[in-house]
Amino acid sequence: MEKSKVLVGMSGGVDSSVSALLLKEQGYEVVGVTLKLFDNDNNESGADAKRISEQLGIEHYVCDGQATFNKYVINDFINCYANCKTPNPCIECNRYIKFGLMYEKTKELNCKYIATGHYAKTEYSEKYDRWVLKKSKAGKKDQSYVLWNIPKEIIEFVKFPLADFENKEQIRDVARKAQLHVASKPDSEDICFIPDGNYKKFLEENSDIKPKYGNIVNSKGEILGKHSGLYNYTIGQRKGLGISNSTPLFVLGFNSIKNEVIVGKEKELYKKEIKVNNINLLLLDEIKDWMEVEVKTRYSSKMAKAKIMQEGGIINVVFDEPQRAITPGQSAVFYLEDYVVGGGKIM
């Protein structure tokens, strides 16, 4: 029986290229799509994706997603910094672009499934009687953390062909054997729309956020120095504060009304309780009672044991052990074993 059509998001990198290759080998009718998302989006990625598509003998399209990307990703990025929060643009991009705009493209091209090169897994769970999102086998490189916000109704139509790979070298080996020219292409580490990594310059050139000097104070309100604009600092930051003290000081938070950066000792960075909003639950429809889970509060952070309880549009999180430098604007993602329960934005 002929397998269904699947639309693969192709960035021109090795992960998405191997994803397309594997799906074709599994018998799917594969269609590639590359998204153009911002003005300085270089065409190298599109050219690589097109070349791979030609090599694999699959159709390839370029989709202009600049307006949607600007509305949901760049605007959120700017608004977070304007409100003393630290954004994760990949999470907004996954929800609104890769599993929003690109999912709409699947219907337009009569594809049943959508696939990306993320390290994550989808499957049907008899236990939960639904399609679920799970961790991949990639360990520290697992990307389920940045996928908590995708619409749960589309999970059954999402494929992650790299779910069972344990490391990047295995994926590169597949690419080499297939003679894909991107086999050794380096990973992109920066925020895609800020290729030079200078987010402060990006904010100053693309928003009303400009240097505005104010006081650096301790938790008692005592003035210790001057800052160059709240957006230049993040919770947990130690270096670059320009103040001397007998013990190291770290950024604890902000007072946007007084235009102050608040600093303190490292022990003051730890919190045992947080609140989370903008909730998206995947494994359950609601959390009716205190539930024991593991929580990640940053992509690179370790799992932390906690209890969670939902009250309307907010989830209360109580950690077993206090956690360091929890940052508003980042995501708290909840796990039961390998299952993604859901997540939300740290308030």
Residues recognised as catalytic: 93, 192
Strand ranges in 231-297 using DSSP code E only, listed in sequence order: 250-255, 260-264, 270-281, 291-296
Cβ burial of 264 (10 Å; 0-12, 13-18, 19+) is middle
User: Would you say how long the chain is, in residues?
Assistant: 347
The one-character DSSP state at 330 is B
Whether residue 305 contacts residue 316, with contact meaning beta carbons closer than 8 Å, is answered with no
Question: Coil, helix or strand for 75?
Answer: helix
Tokens encoding 237: 């930051």
Torsion of CA 322, 326, 328, 329, to 10 degrees: -130
Strand 120-125 relative to strand 130-135, pairing: antiparallel
The one-character DSSP state at 8 is E
Whether residue 334 contacts residue 310, with contact meaning beta carbons closer than 8 Å, is answered with no
Number of H helices, E strands in the chain: 8, 17
Whether residue 91 contacts residue 331, with contact meaning beta carbons closer than 8 Å, is answered with yes
Whether residue 284 contacts residue 342, with contact meaning beta carbons closer than 8 Å, is answered with yes
